[in-house]
Amino acid sequence: MTQDSTGTSITFDRATKIYPGAASPALDELNLEVEAGELVCLVGPSGGGKTTALQLVNRIVDLSSGDIRIGGRSITDQSAIELRRTIGYAIQQSGLFPHYTVADNIATVPVILGWDKERIRTRTAELLELVGLSPVETWLPRYPAQLSGGQQQRVGIARALAADPPVMLMDEPFGALDPITRVTVQEEFLAIHRAVGKTTLFVTHDIDEAIKMADRIAILKPGGKLAQFDTPEQVLSNPADDFVAEFLGAERGLKRLALTTVGEIVTADSVRTDAEDAGWPDVEATMTLREALSLVSAAGAEGAVVNSGGSRLGEVSLHDLIAPPASAGGDREGLRA
């Protein structure tokens, strides 16, 4: 990557939005600090103010009261146009210009910024590779209508990253994808996030997506009030109130198992004989406990054999899977490695 900045903080300071004619706020005194380089997922019920919160940041919507600061500087200290050049914005429908090619879509902001042709060409190719669309020559001349929904969303993400903005706002960017493509694109996006370290505010309806992606999760409740802001591990193990507990659902305990990989709990001294673990399914060390539990359950077994890169690391029992040691989990780097 060329000259990627490491990102900058986003501070919501009692940020409030009351739409004209509305009786109550869509977003009510939101206090939230997204640290530089952090990926925060914003979740909550439909109409809870998530899109409003994002659109306040890039001034598509104006604050009614309170302030939002990026890197300590109020968003109202500069023109909306100037502000938006520092923010990448990706939305569910991808928002690509239908009459522009992929190349021209990605180049939109760099062209406005007056970059020379060679720099734009290099950057566009680099971004297409990054979002997994290669060889780039195949994709550059295509129009959005000639791409699948998932490919359009990848181009939308590439476009949002084009001018190397320190801040990314993403509003259900994977919302239209089927579950398999969605997992692929989530993993690609996490890899990109690790590589470029943008400060990212990511809206999703899908709590599992938030648990997988987020450093911290902000949960909004009806009326645009912040219910909880904490790590996935903390939100799942200590929901702040009944609303959060209900929002996380009855499977909260199972979801927590998605924070730990089998590789984190397997111990080398758990070696059994082949006879003892007959019928135990093979799992990869990178699988989450939740995924492994699902395989063990489907096999009607009492444990699983853990492999990594084709060699056997050991085994995990059913008990290990459902009651991992307290030290395991919550290690995002471990999960993402």
Ligand X SMILES: Nc1ncnc2c1ncn2[C@@H]1O[C@H](COP(=O)(O)OP(=O)(O)OP(=O)(O)O)[C@@H](O)[C@H]1O
Q: Alpha-carbon distance 157 to 173, whole Å? A: 8
Q: Which of residues 38-67 bind Mg ion (CB under 5 A)?
A: 51
91 in contact with ligand X (CB under 6 A): no
Query: Which DSSP letter does residue 145 get?
Result: G
Which of the ranges 1-9, 47-55, 83-91, 193-201 carries the binding residues for ligand X, by CB under 6 A?
47-55
23 in contact with ligand X (CB under 6 A): no
The amino acid at residue 329 is G
101 in contact with Mg ion (CB under 5 A): no
Which of 1, 19, 129, 135 contacts ligand X by CB under 6 A? 19
Residue 197, sorted as left (phi over 0), alpha (psi -120 to 50) or beta, turns out to be left
For residues 50 and 332, which CB has a smaller minimum distance to ligand X in the complex? 50
188 phi and psi angles, rounded to 5 deg: -60, -40
**SS3 readout for 102-129:** HHHHHCHHHHHCCCCHHHHHHHHHHHHH
47 in contact with ligand X (CB under 6 A): yes
Give, in degrees to the nearest 5, the angle at Cα 244 between 242 and 249.
95
Cβ 26 to ligand X, closest distance in Å?
Answer: 3
Max Cα distance, the chain (Å): 71
Cβ 55 to ligand X, closest distance in Å?
Answer: 8
Under rule CB under 5 A, how many of the chain's residues touch Mg ion?
Answer: 1
Which of the ranges 43-51, 148-156, 262-270, 315-323 carries the binding residues for ligand X, by CB under 6 A?
43-51
Distances (CA, A) of 156 to 92, 152, 170, 212, 304: 9, 6, 10, 21, 40
Which of the ranges 42-50, 98-106, 123-131, 236-244 carries the binding residues for ligand X, by CB under 6 A?
42-50
Torsion angle in degrees (nearest 10) through CA of 184, 337, 155, 95: 80
For residues 51 and 151, which CB has a smaller minimum distance to Mg ion in the complex? 51
The mark string for 159-198 relative to ligand X (x by CB under 6 A, - otherwise) is ----------------------------------------
Which of 11, 52, 101, 200 contacts ligand X by CB under 6 A? 52
For residues 55 and 108, which CB has a smaller minimum distance to ligand X in the complex? 55
Residue among 281, 234, 282 at smallest CA distance from 259: 234
Contact positions vs ligand X (CB under 6 A): 19, 22, 26, 44, 46-52, 205
Contact positions vs Mg ion (CB under 5 A): 51
